């Protein structure tokens, strides 16, 4: 494999090959001033700045409902500006168009990223579906 392709695969610019020639030295010349970075061995050591990501744990989707008639749908407000207004409109739509469906409006405790175990427990026990207004 040529050095240009190798550098490209490592996410580095092929301009690195020309670094020494820009200083008036051939690209493969060894400097008279030895330093730990340039050993003259021709090897390039690179570290990926992205690091190694943790393994991904796949979580399956929840089973789908055949109908919402006779079911309870929780409308969860996470506190994003205006999400409560949107959820109230959704609740009004359900009241007009699907009177057999019960809607329960709840405000999640704490900021968006914090867990709310009490709410999740209540939804698992009493609810059949959830609509969350998470913003953006």
Is the whole model's pTM more than 0.75, yes or no?
no
Tokens encoding 86: 């949107």
Q: What domain range includes position 44?
A: 1-54
Q: Is 61 domain-assigned? A: no
> Which has more confidence, 130 or 46?
130
Q: List, edge to edge, every strand of the sheet that includes 102-107.
A: 102-107, 72-77, 129-133
Asked whether residue 108 is assigned to any structural domain, the reply reads yes
3-state secondary structure 65-127: CCCCCCCEEEEEECCCCCHHHHHHHHHHHHHHHCCCCEEEEEECCCCCCCCCHHHHHHHHHHC
Confidence of residue 32 (pLDDT cuts 50, 70, 90): low
Mark whether 31 and 83 lie in a shared domain. no
The answer to whether residue 66 sits within a structural domain is no
């Amino acid at each position: 494999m040529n050095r240009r392709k190798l550098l490209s695969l490592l996410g580095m610019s092929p301009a690195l090959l020309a670094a020494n020639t820009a200083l008036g030295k051939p690209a493969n010349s060894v400097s008279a001033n030895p330093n730990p970075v340039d050993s003259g061995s021709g090897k390039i050591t690179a570290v990926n700045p992205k690091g190694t990501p943790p393994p991904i744990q796949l979580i399956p989707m929840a089973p789908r409902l055949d109908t919402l008639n006779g079911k309870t749908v929780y409308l969860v407000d996470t506190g994003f500006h205006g999400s409560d207004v949107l959820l109230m409109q959704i609740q009004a739509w359900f009241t007009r168009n699907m009177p057999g469906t019960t809607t329960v409006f709840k405000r999640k405790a704490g900021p968006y990223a914090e867990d709310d175990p009490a709410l999740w427990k209540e939804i698992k026990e009493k609810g059949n579906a959830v609509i969350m207004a998470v913003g953006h």
